[in-house]
Amino acid sequence: MGKGRWAIGKSREAGFGLIEVMVAILILSCALLGVMGLFEWADFGLREGLRATRALAMAESRLEAKRTSPWSGLLTDDVDADGTAEIQMRDDGVHPDEQAGDGVYTAALEQDGIRLIWTVQPDRADLLRPGSLARVGSVVIAARAGYATRRGQWREVRVATLRANPNYVGPR
């Protein structure tokens, strides 16, 4: 039949060769690895954010518990809310208290990998009798919660408030 465009006996099928398919698979696998890395990074960020939020909530709840407790019970803590104080705050220089006799009463608790330390510091330590805040006008209540990240870094949140003694009438 002639020398036309389509010669008989020759097949002209278009398609992808093995090289093209392998290059496409390589590009796809690199893209998938990148997406998987993003998922891992997002998961890390969510977990760190959750720990930071939990640490802040623990510190704020301890601060609020101290703000609402009676003045006479300010140096004791009922951590599990069963009506019995489990923790007596101390000023004896034993960990977590930093220095004995400085007037700063300290207690600590560790929960879910978060270390919570809270302090009660009177405005005038010279008026203190050991274990009593009856003769002071106000205290600074502080709480700090710290945790280690997966990368080994230490993170910490701090909150504090000032509380006045409702029965204080001046130096006695």
pLDDT at residue 126 in the model: 58
SS3 70: coil
Burial of 100 per CB tally in 10 Å (0-12, 13-18, 19+): exposed
pLDDT band at 45 (very low <50, low <70, confident <90, very high): confident
Q: What is the mean pLDDT of the chain?
A: 86
pLDDT band at 158 (very low <50, low <70, confident <90, very high): very high
pLDDT tens for 1-13 read 555 555 555 556 6
pLDDT at residue 58 in the model: 95
- 14-40: average pLDDT: 89
Secondary structure (H, E, C), 49-118? HHHHHHHHHHHHHHHHHHHHCCHHHCCEECCCCCCCCCEECECCCCCCCCCCCCCCEEEEEEECCEEEEE
Q: Where are the beta strands (DSSP E) in 46-151?
A: 76-77, 87-88, 105-111, 114-122, 138-148
Give me the percent of the chain exceeding a pLDDT of 70: 87
Say which amino acid occupies 19: I
- The ranges assigned to domains in the chain are 18-164
Give the total residue count for the chain.
172
Least confident window among 51-55, 113-117, 124-128: 124-128
Q: Which residue has the higher pLDDT, 91 or 114?
A: 114
Residue keyed to tokens 């080994």: 152
Structure tokens at 100: 């004995």
**Which fold is adopted by the domain 18-164?**
N-terminal domain of TfIIb (2.20.25)
